[in-house]
């Protein structure tokens, strides 16, 4: 039975059985938790999970907070059971005893999440629950333990092998197209006409990754422009005139100009380091003439880094002086071109030298470099929108996906934090 049909079957089962299991009146949250975690039959557990998730949706902010605090405080592992399993392992450190210790140390809330996920539509609801949880972590840091349990399960449920790549075009369902408009996080889609320009032109492509448990809900989507050269501004892509009778054999460059993560509840859940390569393979099959695969990417962390005097750059005095110089300038959209050289130089040094641990400080850089790309070129005055000016004084960067070196770049980046970059940029570095 296909996954979707099986989910429909379970949905019908839940609908038929809810009244029978609730004949003594609507249960409260504690009763549902007890029933779900107790020794009940599978049907009862599936119905209880759905009732609990539906009840959660009806809670206000205070009720949701209290539920998370409840499962943090009262759904831990039992200390005596953990101690017994540890003592057994210490006395006989076998693989079997290690597995027993692992099971004993697992918090009960992990099993709670597993049981919740057995009811139809639960994965979507649990992703939404984690979005709520993330909003509570600053005020209630103890809930980080609950978030770790969500992440542990999500990393398994959303592993790369489960994701499906789908081409998005004008024949895609209206429900999915509407979500593409809503989820676009890099360059806002103004309306349906704007969307059509992005997915229904011969020199545009759009791809989305889906998970079988989240039907019609893209996890991440990639917008691509096809051309004969590497673009240096987002305006040249978003506002280009529609050309008729384009010869697809003349396309030599594919530019990934927008990559949007659609589910806030999956923050920090990696979908693997070769998503872009799969898109590349799809494009190569359709357009053999394309030899260059690049991005035109925002640099969202630049202004935040610029405004902080803490040295994250290896005690580089020259870099600190350049930061101070740029901060002292009154830069506007009207005089931006006068300062492009300074902005580009600082931007390149930010991308290559500013680190969090051994990896780049910039989140978009971490994504592309982790996927095996290299820093290729930095452009000034590339995004003159309010967002672009506010993030990076309008600068953008091309990351190059050289198919010969993607795997090598990825391995060097992950193991050593090494960043590959175009050698022509070396002269702008303040240190190598």
Would you list the DSSP string of 216-228? T--SEEEEEEEES
Same domain, 306 and 419: yes
Same domain, 198 and 342: no
Which residue among 105, 135, 157 closes a domain? 157
Q: 15 pLDDT band (50/70/90 cuts)?
A: low
Predicted pLDDT at 160: 84
In a domain, 206, yes or no: yes
Predicted pLDDT at 13: 47
247 has pLDDT over 80: yes
Q: Do 251 and 226 contact (CB within 8 A), yes or no?
A: yes
User: Per-residue DSSP letters for 373-416?
Assistant: -EEEEEESSS--SHHHHHHHTT-EEEEE--TTTHHHHHHHHHHH
Same domain, 166 and 147: no
Residue of 117, 92, 84, 102 whose CA lies nearest to 7: 117
In a domain, 131, yes or no: yes
Residue 430, token pair as written in the block: 């303040």
Q: What are the CA-CA distances from residue 189 to residues 76, 185, 199 (Å)?
A: 45, 9, 11
Interval 289-305 mean pLDDT: 95
In a domain, 284, yes or no: no
Q: 432 pLDDT band (50/70/90 cuts)?
A: very low
Lowest mean pLDDT among 13-17, 68-72, 111-115, 286-290: 13-17
- Cα–Cα distance for residue pair 124/103, rounded to 1 Å: 27
Residue of 293, 313, 309, 315 whose CA lies nearest to 373: 293
Q: What are the CA-CA distances from residue 9 to residues 1, 123, 157, 211, 408 (Å)?
A: 10, 16, 21, 19, 46
Interval 59-84 mean pLDDT: 96
169 has pLDDT over 50: yes
- Cα–Cα distance for residue pair 365/299, rounded to 1 Å: 8
Same domain, 168 and 149: no
- Cα–Cα distance for residue pair 228/214, rounded to 1 Å: 37
- Cα–Cα distance for residue pair 299/394, rounded to 1 Å: 9
Interval 165-175 mean pLDDT: 95
Interval 43-61 mean pLDDT: 91
Same domain, 132 and 166: no
In a domain, 295, yes or no: no
314 has pLDDT over 70: no
Same domain, 144 and 166: no
Contacts 24+ apart (CB under 8 A), 322-329: 322/346, 322/349, 322/430
44 has pLDDT over 90: no
Query: How many CB atoms sit inside 10 A of residue 341's CB?
Result: 11
Contacts (Cβ under 8 Å, ≥6 apart) of 231: 225, 237, 255, 257, 296
Q: 174 pLDDT band (50/70/90 cuts)?
A: very high
Output the domain CATH number for residue 113: 1.20.140.90
Higher pLDDT among residues 332 and 24, named by residue: 332
- Cα–Cα distance for residue pair 168/56, rounded to 1 Å: 33
Same domain, 17 and 153: yes
Residue 117, token pair as written in the block: 């996920």
How do strand 292-295 and strand 220-227 relate by DSSP bridges? unpaired
In a domain, 79, yes or no: yes
Predicted pLDDT at 1: 42
In a domain, 350, yes or no: yes
Same domain, 151 and 187: no
Interval 370-399 mean pLDDT: 94
How many folded domains does the chain comprise?
A: 3
Interval 237-266 mean pLDDT: 89
How do strand 355-356 and strand 292-295 relate by DSSP bridges? unpaired
Same domain, 59 and 99: yes
- Cα–Cα distance for residue pair 329/414, rounded to 1 Å: 37
Give the single-character DSSP code of 269.
Answer: -
Q: Kindly report, residue by residue over 185-204, the tens digit of the pLDDT.
A: 899 999 999 999 999 999 99
- Rounded (5°) CA angle 419-188-161: 55
In a domain, 337, yes or no: yes
In a domain, 291, yes or no: no
Q: Kindly report, residue by residue over 362-380, the tens digit of the pLDDT.
A: 999 999 999 999 999 999 9
Interval 215-244 mean pLDDT: 91
What mean pLDDT value characterizes the chain? 89
Measured in residues, the chain has a length of 432
Same domain, 141 and 236: no
Domain of residue 226: give its range: 161-255+270-275
98 has pLDDT over 50: yes
pTM over 0.75: yes
Output the domain CATH number for residue 334: 3.40.630.150
- Cα–Cα distance for residue pair 271/277, rounded to 1 Å: 13
Same domain, 23 and 76: yes
Residue of 312, 267, 5 whose CA lies nearest to 150: 267
Which residue among 111, 126, 157 closes a domain? 157
Same domain, 8 and 97: yes
How big is the chain by its Cα radius of gyration, in Å?
Answer: 25
Residue of 236, 233, 286, 279 whose CA lies nearest to 259: 279
């Amino acid at each position: 039975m296909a996954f979707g049909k099986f989910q429909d079957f379970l949905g019908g089962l839940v609908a038929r059985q809810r009244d029978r299991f609730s004949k003594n009146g609507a249960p409260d949250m504690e009763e549902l938790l007890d029933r779900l975690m107790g020794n009940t039959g599978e049907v009862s557990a599936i119905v209880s999970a759905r009732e609990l998730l539906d009840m959660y949706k009806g809670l206000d902010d205070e009720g949701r907070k209290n539920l998370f605090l409840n499962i943090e405080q009262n759904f831990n592992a039992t200390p005596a059971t953990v101690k017994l399993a540890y003592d057994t392992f210490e006395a006989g450190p076998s693989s079997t005893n290690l597995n027993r210790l692992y099971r004993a140390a697992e918090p009960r809330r992990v099993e709670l999440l597993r049981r919740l996920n057995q009811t139809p539509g639960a994965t979507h609801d649990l992703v939404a629950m984690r979005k709520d949880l993330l909003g509570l972590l600053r005020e209630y840091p103890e809930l980080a333990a609950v978030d770790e349990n969500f992440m542990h399960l999500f990393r398994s449920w959303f592993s790369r092998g489960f994701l499906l790549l789908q081409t998005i075009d004008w024949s895609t369902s209206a429900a999915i197209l509407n979500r593409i408009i809503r989820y676009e996080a890099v360059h806002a889609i103004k309306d349906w006409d704007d969307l059509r320009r992005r997915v229904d032109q011969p020199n545009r492509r759009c791809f989305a990754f889906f998970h079988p448990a989240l039907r019609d809900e893209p996890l991440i989507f990639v917008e691509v422009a096809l051309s004969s050269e590497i673009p240096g501004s987002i305006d040249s892509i978003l506002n280009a005139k529609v050309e008729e009778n384009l010869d697809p054999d003349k396309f030599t460059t594919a530019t990934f100009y927008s990559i949007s993560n659609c589910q806030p509840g999956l923050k920090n859940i990696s979908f693997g380091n070769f998503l872009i390569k799969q898109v590349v393979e799809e494009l190569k099959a359709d357009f053999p003439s394309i030899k260059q695969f690049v991005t035109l990417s925002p640099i969202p962390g630049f202004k935040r880094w610029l405004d902080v005097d803490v040295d994250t750059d290896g005690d580089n005095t020259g870099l600190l002086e350049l930061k101070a110089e740029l901060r002292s300038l009154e830069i506007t959209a009207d005089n931006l071109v006068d300062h492009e050289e300074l902005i580009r130089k600082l931007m390149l040094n930010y991308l290559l030298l500013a680190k969090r641990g051994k990896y780049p400080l910039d989140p978009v850089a971490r994504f592309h470099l982790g996927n095996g790309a290299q820093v290729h070129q930095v452009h000034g005055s590339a995004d003159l929108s309010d967002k672009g000016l506010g993030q990076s004084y309008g600068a953008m960067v091309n990351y190059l996906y050289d198919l010969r070196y993607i795997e090598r770049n990825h391995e060097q980046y992950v193991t050593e934090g090494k960043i590959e970059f175009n050698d022509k940029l070396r002269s702008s570095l303040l240190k190598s």
